[in-house]
Homo-oligomer: A and B are copies of this chain.
Amino acid sequence: MNRLSLNQWTTRRWSVAEAVAGCVRHGIASIGLWRDHVAVHGLEATAALVRAEGLRVSSLCRGGFFTRPGWREDNHQAIEEAAVLGAACLVLVPGGLPSGSKDLAGARAQVSDALAELAPYARERGVRLAVEPMHPMYCADRSVVSTLRQALDLAPPEVGVTVDSFHVWWDPEAPAQIARAGDRIASFQVCDFLNPLPADVLLGRAMMGDGVIDFPSLCAAVEAAGYTGDIEVEIFNADVWAADPDEVLTTMRKRYAELIVA
């Protein structure tokens, strides 16, 4: 249970202070923070709060979107924020096709170039980057990096990856690519995949056990690859967001025990 982390977006209506208090109340030792919530609470104040409460920061979400104008400045800022927060990594959402473009190969090259450029910047500040391959249904609008194989191929070796159950569960190559990733796994996020998908496919993420993912085999692959870091529960789901966050955390602990570390 000690490796369980609450990704803040799971209880998105909670402020930073409420989410930190929720973690403490439920015996959760780690939290994945979101930059917009952190900005509201204040960067230094958030860093002080999590330190005071003894929580680890399993990740900061998120940098990336390398195919949008202004990506460089935004990512420099995100890296500096991750350093202040002492986050184990900065999660990078690669970004989709540039507005109006159909040049997928070009967009992928942009992501590769941006990662190569940011890697030393992050290294000098002691921040670990974690590029997140995303489900192919988000290829156009959110991530032109669609598989773990591709993420490992296009990022410099010092850049880590985020393995997210929702994004990789379908991939026949996932077990082999998780093994290949080894200590490049900088972040492990879990949630289930709803079937059927809801009208907004971004909200197809569900509590572990409520969808179609075979967690024991996925978790065994990540464990066998040597990953010993925190396991973040990140759920974008209208029903979860509408529920009492304390009930969400209770369910989350139970499902984590049953499915993730069983």
Q: Which residues of A contact B (CB under 8 A)?
A: 96-97, 102-105, 108, 135-137, 139-141, 146-147, 149-150, 169-172, 193, 195-197, 199-201, 212-214, 217
The answer to whether A137 and B171 have CB atoms under 8 Å apart is no
The answer to whether B140 and A212 have CB atoms under 8 Å apart is yes
Chain B residues whose C-beta falls within 8 Å of the C-beta of A169 in the assembled complex: 104, 139
Give the oligomeric copy count: 2
Residue of B nearest to A215 (CB): B102
Chain B residues whose C-beta falls within 8 Å of the C-beta of A212 in the assembled complex: 97, 102, 140
Partner pick for A214 among B103, B200, B201, CB 8 A cutoff: B103
- Given A102-B214, A212-B97, A140–B171 Cβ distance below 8 Å? no
Chain B residues whose C-beta falls within 8 Å of the C-beta of A141 in the assembled complex: 195-196
The answer to whether A172 and B196 have CB atoms under 8 Å apart is no
15 A-B residue pairs with Cβ-Cβ distance under 8 Å, sorted by A, are A97-B195, A104-B214, A105-B217, A135-B137, A136-B136, A136-B170, A137-B197, A137-B201, A140-B170, A140-B212, A146-B172, A150-B172, A197-B201, A199-B200, A201-B201
Residue of B nearest to A105 (CB): B217
Query: Which residue, A137, A172, A197, has most C-beta atoms of chain B within 10 A?
Result: A172
Q: Which 6 A-B pairs have the closest CB atoms?
A: A199-B199, A139-B170, A140-B195, A137-B137, A102-B214, A136-B170
Shortest beta-carbon distance from A93 to chain B in Å: 16
In the complex, A196→B96 CA distance in Å?
12
